[in-house]
A and B are shown apart, each in its own frame.
Chain A
Amino acid sequence: MAKTVLTIDDSKAIRDMVNFTLTGVGYRVVEAENGLEGLAKLKSEPVSLVVVDLNMPVMNGFEFIRKARQEPKGSGVPILMLTTETKPEAKAEGKALGATGWLNKPFDAAMLVAVARKLAG
């Protein structure tokens, strides 16, 4: 069965891009517009990888990561931060909260695929 990737981003364009890119190489992609929706999807879907934006309304990416790691189903799922943030502090904060790694926006489709394979298998 195809592995499921959850993309959380308030930008539809980014969700579409992640969806298109990863669907193309055999993943199943589910989408959420903010951290809160993302948590709900994390609980209801068999997620193998989360690709999350940091700046979002309602619940931002940091908060999502923190909450996700407290969920039984969120523990152990690789979480990739997808961000325009280039400050090392922001990344360190995300890592401290339990993120697995990060990828800068704009990203390259081939790079995203490579990272997904690396993290989700």
Chain B
Amino acid sequence: MHLRLSSLLGLGLSLSYLATASLLTITIPPSTNLPNPHSLPASTHATLTTLPAPGAGDRDPPHILTASLTRGATLVFRDLPAGHPETYLLDIRAGEYVFAPYRVDVAADGSVTGIWETFRGNPWENRGAQKYVVDVVAGEEKRPETAGGDVLVEAKLLGKKAFYEERASFSPLSLLKNPMILMAIVALVLTFGMPKLMENMDPEMRAEFEQQSRSSPLTGATNNATAGGGFDLAGWMAGTAPSPMAVAQAREAQERESASGREAAAAAAGNVRKRG
């Protein structure tokens, strides 16, 4: 790269007769995030930043250049400092809008030799899309719209910063979307709607349905639970219901005692079921 810089330097010198005061203009094109570049705040500005080589002096030439936003939504750098070939970091800062940083190479005579996109946190040599470059061989610019030493590039808008948090607004619809509420509504419909539905059914259908529901494992399980087959956690915690171990032992004892007892219990369960 050192070699390359020096070749650029030579080029800059040869060009110096036509590029005495170089003008670098950055235009801000309209984009989806920024349909009207004229709406940018007045504090919008661009900076060219670099650090001169050690010993070159810190203020001479100035190594931090700033340009304010103009009425035409452009940022214009005049009189880029001459003396040393420099490679600048171009930042555009505009409130909530985020622009891509550029790399701007400037020759010793203050004329721009090349502008590329660059990526923060990446090596400086890792250049992105080329925005402008002086053709080394022909000694003339590639872009037709630039004349003299003036350079025109477009800024690239990356995005927009969102400063504010959205407050969740209360709406009855969002309440209905809550799965808990939905489950409650379904349960409500079942408890109130099912008996009505059953009443309206003709007796044959009802009998068939009852037969079906008796054999269904799901309703069987619930019936078991209502019949005392399940474990009553709240009761056990409160001390009013026996612990599951005690229940199991009791049941074993019951089973051993008589099989007819179990049948009786099943019949009782059937009664309960019938009542629905």
B is bound to A: no
A-side residues, CB < 8 A to B, are none
